[in-house]
């Protein structure tokens, strides 16, 4: 099998190399080639050995960590639908329904995003970056399941082109691209992402009234209206509540967090300080719901998967503490004092993405000062 793959690659390679018939597709071909086998490139400079970790490994670890909330999201989509419509579904039916509903979102996200990434890589003559494999997986998870596919496609295109490629591609972006997609939907198509019916598949279009007394409101919405979350802490922790596809289960997200922290792929400093910031701010401003805030809405998902994005977060270790803490604080402030939009996590992270370079500048400054102080000459 292995030999067959390598032989096929060798056979196709001339066609896709520069000068070959399909030479203009060489970036695309290389993307698949290096996916199948770690390439035979060797070190050129004075360093002769390199660690066996590469960006593919880092990114696939993140995707691995995203799987628990994704699986839970599939089940919960079916479960919420069956609740709303009074259906008596079992585990498998719920999961199958969720899978059937999320698959189009995933396909649209990857096809649109990777399509642009491949085209840009091709135009630049670079290798295709792995970054979008994570972004494209996250985007459906932070959207309501009922989002129209064309809105999703537009938001992905916006995020990839204006969030990433115009800055120079992976590693150069200022904002987390997945959050930018979500922000795009929020500001450009507010009707798609607000209200109480959009969180449950089928509810928006349902002609007949659903089960008596059923409300599709998310805890954050209920909290904003009534001052209580409307669901028990345990419900929200486990996640069988309405919400974006992948964000509801703090439990599943915690499993993902364990994978990220254990493998060292995400910064524990950001996660911990984000938690501390949120708890601290909630104690001050909304002491009745301190712990609820941690399991409501997108806080857990944002703190674990989005705030820790290494490119758009703070680059310095001290900066990571400040950056994470302020995300936590801002998230709670926005939730409590911003009537227009109850979910503060998205805006908190995007705002701190913007501030991260400033934080880093302040952190790096003392090192520069020390260096200037010991300078024997001044120019």
Partner 1 sequence: METIRLRKGLDLKLKGEPQKKVLKTITPEVVAVLPSDFKGVTPRLLVKEGDTVKAGQFVFADKKCEQIGFSSPVSGTVKAIVRGEKRKLLSVDITPDATTQYAQFEPIAEVSKATREDIQQRLLESGLWANIIQRPYGTIAKPTDTPKAIVISAFNSAPLAADINFAIKDDVDAIQIAVNALAKFTTGKVYVNVNAEGNASPLTRLQNVQLTAFKGPHPAGNVGVQIAHLCPIGKGDIVWTIKPQALTAIGKLLSKGIYDVQRVIAISGNRAKEQCYVKCLPGTPVKDIVAAVGVKEEVKVYGEKIGVRYISGNPLCGENVGENGFLGFYDDTVTLISEGNYRELFGWAKLIRTKKYSFSKSYFSWLTPKKRYNADSNTNGGVRPFVVSGLYEKVLPMDIYPVYLLKAIITEDIEKMEQFGIYEVLPEDLALCEYVCPSKQDVCKIVQDGIDLMLKEMA
User: Which residues are near partner 1 by CB under 8 A?
Assistant: 2-3, 5-6, 34, 36-58, 60-61, 127, 129-131, 168-172, 262-265, 267, 310-311, 313-317, 320, 364, 367-368, 370-378
Q: Report how far residue 271's alpha carbon sits from residue 259's, in angstroms, rounded to the nearest whole number.
A: 13
Q: Give ∠ CA 115-121-126 in degrees, rounded to 5.
A: 155
Eight-class DSSP state of 306 = I
* Residue whose CB is less far from partner 1, 24 or 262: 262
The rounded radius of gyration (Å) of the Cα atoms in the chain is: 23
Six-digit token string for 108: 């649209």
* Residue whose CB is less far from partner 1, 192 or 303: 303
Six-digit token string for 132: 């979008």
Q: Report how far residue 274's alpha carbon sits from residue 330's, in angstroms, rounded to the nearest whole number.
A: 10
Min. distance of Cβ 294 from partner 1 in angstroms? 25
Q: Which residue has the tokens 């030999």?
A: 3
* Residue whose CB is less far from partner 1, 172 or 284: 172
Min. distance of Cβ 345 from partner 1 in angstroms? 21
Q: Report how far residue 295's alpha carbon sits from residue 231's, in angstroms, rounded to the nearest whole number.
A: 11
Min. distance of Cβ 185 from partner 1 in angstroms? 26
- Taking residue 173's Cβ as centre, other Cβ atoms within 10 Å add up to 24
Six-digit token string for 359: 């934080």
* Residue whose CB is less far from partner 1, 172 or 228: 172
* Residue whose CB is less far from partner 1, 279 or 318: 318
Containing 179, the helix (H) or strand (E) segment is helix 177-188
Min. distance of Cβ 112 from partner 1 in angstroms? 22
CA 26 to chain centre: 29
* Residue whose CB is less far from partner 1, 201 or 360: 360
Min. distance of Cβ 108 from partner 1 in angstroms? 25
Min. distance of Cβ 93 from partner 1 in angstroms? 32
Q: Report how far residue 237's alpha carbon sits from residue 234's, in angstroms, rounded to the nearest whole number.
A: 5
Q: Report how far residue 43's alpha carbon sits from residue 34's, in angstroms, rounded to the nearest whole number.
A: 17
Q: Report how far residue 104's alpha carbon sits from residue 359's, in angstroms, rounded to the nearest whole number.
A: 39
Min. distance of Cβ 97 from partner 1 in angstroms? 30
Query: What are the E-state strand segments in 58-140?
Result: none
CA 255 to chain centre: 16
* Residue whose CB is less far from partner 1, 88 or 372: 372
């Amino acid at each position: 099998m292995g030999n067959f793959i390598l032989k096929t690659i060798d056979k196709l390679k001339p066609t896709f190399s520069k000068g070959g018939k399909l030479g203009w597709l060489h970036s695309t071909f290389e993307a698949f080639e290096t996916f199948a086998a770690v390439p035979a490139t060797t070190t050129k400079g004075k360093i002769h050995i390199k660690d066996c970790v590469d960006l593919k490994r880092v990114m696939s670890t993140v995707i691995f960590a995203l799987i628990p909330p994704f699986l839970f999201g599939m089940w919960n989509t079916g479960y919420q639908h069956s609740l709303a419509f009074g259906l008596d579904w079992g585990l498998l039916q719920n999961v199958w329904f969720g899978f059937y509903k999320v698959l189009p979102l995933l396909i649209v996200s990857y096809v649109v995003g990777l399509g642009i990434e491949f085209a840009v890589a091709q135009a630049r003559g670079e290798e295709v970056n792995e970054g979008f494999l994570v972004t494209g997986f996250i985007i459906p998870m932070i959207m309501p399941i009922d989002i129209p596919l064309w809105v999703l496609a537009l938001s992905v295109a916006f995020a990839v082109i204006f969030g990433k490629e115009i800055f120079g591609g992976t590693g150069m972006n200022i904002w987390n691209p997945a959050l930018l997609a979500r922000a795009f939907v929020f500001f450009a198509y507010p009707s798609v992402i607000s209200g109480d019916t959009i969180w449950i598949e089928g509810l928006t279009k349902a002609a007949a009234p659903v089960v008596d007394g059923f409300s599709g409101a998310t805890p954050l919405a209920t909290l904003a209206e009534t001052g209580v979350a409307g669901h028990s802490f345990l419900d929200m922790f486990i996640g069988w509540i309405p919400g974006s596809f992948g964000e509801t289960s703090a439990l599943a997200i915690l499993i993902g967090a364990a994978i990220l922290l254990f493998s060292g792929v995400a910064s524990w400093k950001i996660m911990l300080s984000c938690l501390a910031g949120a708890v601290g701010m909630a104690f001050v401003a909304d002491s009745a719901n301190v712990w609820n805030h941690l399991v409501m809405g997108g806080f857990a998902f944002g703190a674990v998967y989005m705030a820790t994005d290494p490119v758009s977060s703070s680059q310095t270790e001290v900066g990571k503490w400040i950056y994470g803490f302020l995300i936590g604080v801002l998230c709670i402030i926005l939730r409590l004092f911003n009537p227009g939009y109850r979910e503060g996590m998205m805006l908190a992270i995007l705002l701190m993405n913007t501030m991260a370079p400033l934080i880093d500048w302040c952190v790096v400054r003392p090192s520069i000062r020390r260096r200037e102080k010991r300078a024997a000459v001044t120019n």
